[in-house]
C-alpha cells in the first residue's frame, strides 16, 4: 500500500479471536486497489467496508494535478479541452 494521508482510529475486541476495527478517512482516489492490498497484507483474512462521508473541495493547488491524473487513467490527454471546443 502506498503512504496516504488519513485520519485513523482503531479498537481491539477480544472475543474467541482477536478482532481489530480500524476507522479512517482517506480520499476516494487513494482507495483504488485497496481491496487487493488489504487482502494481500492480511493473507485474505481482512474484511473491509466503505461509507461515503461526503465531499470536500479540492485545494486549488491540487486541481490540475488530480484532473490530469484522472484524465490519463481514462485514456484522455491530461489537459482539458478549452471552452471554445464545446461551443459552436
**1 within domain boundaries:** no
**pLDDT computed for residue 32 by the predictor:** 82
CA distance 1 to 30: 10
Dihedral angle at the C-alpha atoms of 11, 14, 20, 21, nearest 10 degrees? -60
| pTM for this prediction | 0.47
Domain that holds residue 49: 7-79
Residue 15 counted as domain residue: yes
Partners of 13 in the beta sheet? 19
Counting the structural domains of the chain, the total is: 1
Domain annotation covers residue 87: no
Residue range 31-80, pLDDT digits in tens: 888 888 888 988 888 888 888 888 888 888 888 898 899 899 999 998 88
Write the pLDDT tens digit of every residue in 2-27.
555 555 555 555 556 677 778 888 88
83 vs 5, residue with greater confidence: 83
pLDDT for the residue 7: 55
Domain contains 84? no
Flag whether 88 is in a domain: no
Amino acid at each position: 500500500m502506498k503512504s496516504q494521508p488519513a485520519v485513523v482510529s482503531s479498537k481491539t475486541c477480544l472475543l474467541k479471536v482477536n478482532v481489530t476495527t480500524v476507522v479512517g478517512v482517506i480520499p476516494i482516489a487513494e482507495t483504488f486497489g485497496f481491496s487487493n492490498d488489504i487482502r494481500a497484507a492480511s493473507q485474505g483474512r481482512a474484511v473491509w467496508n466503505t461509507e461515503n462521508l461526503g465531499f470536500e473541495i479540492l485545494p486549488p493547488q491540487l486541481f490540475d494535478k488530480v484532473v490530469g491524473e484522472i484524465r490519463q487513467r481514462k485514456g484522455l490527454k491530461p489537459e482539458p479541452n478549452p471552452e471554445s471546443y464545446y461551443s459552436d
